[in-house]
Structure 1
Amino acid sequence: MKDDTLICFLGPLGTSDHRAIELFSDIGVYVPLPMASISEIVQTVNYTPGCLGVVPLENSTDGELTTISDKLIFEATDIRIQQECVLAEVICAYGLADLSVATTVISHPQILDLCSRFIKERGLSTRHATSTTEACRLVAREKDVTLIALAPPAVGQKMGLSAFDDTVLDVPEIRTRYVLIGQGVAPATGFDKSVFVVTPAFDAAGALSDVLSSFTKFSVNMLSILSRPLQTKIGLHSFYITCEGHVNDTPILYAVESLLERGHSVKHLGSFPRWKGAEVTAPFANLPLGSIDPEDLNTKSVRELLGV
């Protein structure tokens, strides 16, 4: 990567999106460029060769962020995913005095929602901020001892605030999967995954099965699949498919060729190194409540198990 490479991210400086940049490999020296919206990032990268961008695609509380992936799928022609990383963070309460005098808490709306137990137990009123960085900045600037901010340690410590409580989250931690986007296809590493968007040639029973058969025929292991309904035709969906391997691997090339021969449309959204750290998972240690186990068939019929 060139030393003068621009990397766009959702600003201001110091946000989680900004901190995620350091998790990508071989970043080197770069110029951080805060932007006001994801759309601005996507369009800048799409029309500026050599420019990179960082966008979140998934987190442990909301799952896939489809509003963002849609922008990459439907609003960009030349963007490819270059890398991925997972940022794991805890949230702490920061302020200027003892927590016992706090009456109001300020943070990003999503963080406030994830700390609802802490807020409710202490009877705190809430204020919204555009980011955790802004929340900490407001606490430091207003010098109000009754105001506390909820933010990651990297933010609160930078603002010189005192940490009062590191158990404010309703979940153990927040994990967010970020991707580095740019133009061109990243080179193969031998431990890659690829993302394709496939729009079936027809809208009928068996459309998804027909799409998946091209991958299974050439032993391409699929990691995930999502569907997005399209406005162009009622019932028509595009399938967002992530699979193991690089687009230059022979099995994947054969699978794409098979999809095209079957009349399906294919968009390659990137081939990139798989993240080797902790993955984004649901914040629950148990199986979905009310799940039916295979052993249950020994005592009840499927109809009884389903409650119908």
Structure 2
Amino acid sequence: MEFDSEMLVCFTGPKGTSDYRAIELFDSIGKYEPLPMPSVTEVIQTVNNTPGCYGILPMENSTDGEMTTILDRLIFGSTNVRIQGEVVLAEGIACFGLTGQEVFTSVISHPMVLDLSSRFIKERGLTTRHALSTSDACRTVVVERDPTLVALAPPEVGEMFDLTMYASQVSDVNEIRTRYVLIGQEITAPTGRDKTSLIVTPSADTVGSLAKVAQIFSDAEVNMVSILSRPLQAKLGMHSFSITCEGHILEEPVSHAVASLLASGTSVKVLGSYPKWKGVEVTTPFDSLPLGSLEPNSIAI
């Protein structure tokens, strides 16, 4: 899906944040008017209540995995919002300060960035300060003019504030990957290379209820690529399952699987069908299999 006219795109602001930079990765977005907002909730509600308005949401990153607080707002706090696309923003983290700095004693950045740069911070004995975003951190360095304060941020952010780079790679991992989605009110047309996100809620919490759901997808030959359980406060003991599968809701075999789920008494909310991202995927920052795992045939029977 491509847009010819100028789009209104909401994101968690201000300009310069990772959310803002992710907009440029969506091929479907041409001309657009960026609309920064103070919270994810406002982005979702604005899209939910405004036809023709779109939004950018972070949904998963390589350090924390699925962002369940944002997913819950889509599940329980909106009725007209659909996922229309996905991209992955991959960023390194650098150290920036004022020109001519010689001694650094403190560092400022988003809490997640500080946590991912613990080795750099510990080796230099730096005290830490929290910022709402990496762009806010760089802005603080510029405004305060403190010669002992540096900011940790992606290279694009530090350069935007005309700061001097003192270290090109400071995080404990090579890059931070975040999966973003584009949301709107419409279900996009099939492309032949799509994913569908569904919220599936069985009618009762019984032994094997999830297995029955999985069997319906298997019988329809639909490949599930992720599943996440969300316990329901409204009905204690029951769960909704966030399921992403291959295929499009308007085409077989996904439409058949959904029809079978409904026929079984299971409720289904369609979060959207959208083209698969063609670039790098969000993965864990570790390059090994789970440590301590038991291997097949490792235990004698």
TM-score by length of 1: 0.95
What 5-or-longer segments of structure 2 have no aligned partner? Answer: none
**Aligned equivalents of 1:133 and 1:167: distance in 2?**
17
The answer to whether the aligner puts 1:277 opposite 2:283 as a matched pair is no
Alignment correspondent of 1:305: none
**Aligned equivalents of 1:293 and 1:64: distance in 2?**
27
For 2:152, the aligned partner's letter is: L
**Aligned equivalents of 1:100 and 1:296: distance in 2?**
56
Which residue among 263, 266, 269 is the counterpart of 2:268?
Answer: 266
Kept in 2: contact 1:98–1:164 (CA 8 A): no
For 1:240, the aligned partner's letter is: S
Alignment correspondent of 1:135: 137
How far the C-alpha of 1:170 sits from its partner, in A, is: 1.2
Alignment correspondent of 1:112: 114
Other structure's SS at 2:253 match: helix
Alignment correspondent of 2:170: 168
Other structure's SS at 2:173 match: coil
Runs of 4 or more consecutive aligned structure 1 residues displaced over 3 Å after TM superposition: 97-100
How far the C-alpha of 1:167 sits from its partner, in A, is: 2.3
Alignment correspondent of 2:35: 33
Kept in 1: contact 2:89–2:180 (CA 8 A): yes
**Aligned equivalents of 1:161 and 1:104: distance in 2?**
16
Equivalent pairs counted in the alignment come to 299
Once the two structures are superposed, what CA deviation does each residue of 1:160-204 show, in whole Å capped at 9, x if it has no partner?
111111221011110000000000101110000001100001111
What 5-or-longer segments of structure 1 have no aligned partner? Answer: 302-308
Summarize the Cα distance change of 1:214–1:99 in structure 2 as closer, same or farther, 3 Å threshold: farther
Kept in 1: contact 2:248–2:255 (CA 8 A): no
**Aligned equivalents of 1:284 and 1:101: distance in 2?**
33
Alignment correspondent of 2:240: 238
Alignment correspondent of 2:295: 293
Alignment correspondent of 1:62: 64
Other structure's SS at 1:101 match: coil
How far the C-alpha of 1:237 sits from its partner, in A, is: 0.3
Q: For residues 50-199 of structure 1, what are the structure 2 equivalents within 5 Å?
A: 50-97=52-99, 100-199=102-201
TM-score by length of 2: 0.97
For 1:141, the aligned partner's letter is: V
**Aligned equivalents of 2:10 and 2:96: distance in 1?**
28
Other structure's SS at 1:294 match: coil
**Aligned equivalents of 2:243 and 2:146: distance in 1?**
50
**Aligned equivalents of 1:86 and 1:163: distance in 2?**
25
- Work out the percentage of aligned pairs sharing the same amino acid: 59
How far the C-alpha of 1:296 sits from its partner, in A, is: 1.7
Alignment correspondent of 2:219: 217
Other structure's SS at 1:45 match: helix
How far the C-alpha of 1:295 sits from its partner, in A, is: 4.2
**Aligned equivalents of 2:172 and 2:252: distance in 1?**
46
Kept in 1: contact 2:13–2:36 (CA 8 A): yes
How far the C-alpha of 1:249 sits from its partner, in A, is: 1.2
For 2:246, the aligned partner's letter is: E
**Aligned equivalents of 2:256 and 2:23: distance in 1?**
34
Kept in 2: contact 1:2–1:30 (CA 8 A): no
Q: CA RMSD for the aligned pairs?
A: 1.1
**Aligned equivalents of 1:138 and 1:9: distance in 2?**
21
Kept in 1: contact 2:60–2:282 (CA 8 A): yes
**Aligned equivalents of 1:98 and 1:109: distance in 2?**
26
Kept in 2: contact 1:6–1:52 (CA 8 A): yes
For 1:14, the aligned partner's letter is: G
Kept in 1: contact 2:202–2:240 (CA 8 A): yes
How far the C-alpha of 1:2 sits from its partner, in A, is: 4.4
**Aligned equivalents of 1:194 and 1:226: distance in 2?**
14
Which residue among 239, 243, 250 is the counterpart of 2:252?
Answer: 250
Once the two structures are superposed, what CA deviation does each residue of 1:221-274 show, in whole Å capped at 9, x if it has no partner?
111111000012221000100000001112111111111110000000000000
**Aligned equivalents of 1:99 and 1:92: distance in 2?**
15
The answer to whether the aligner puts 1:227 opposite 2:265 as a matched pair is no
Other structure's SS at 2:212 match: helix
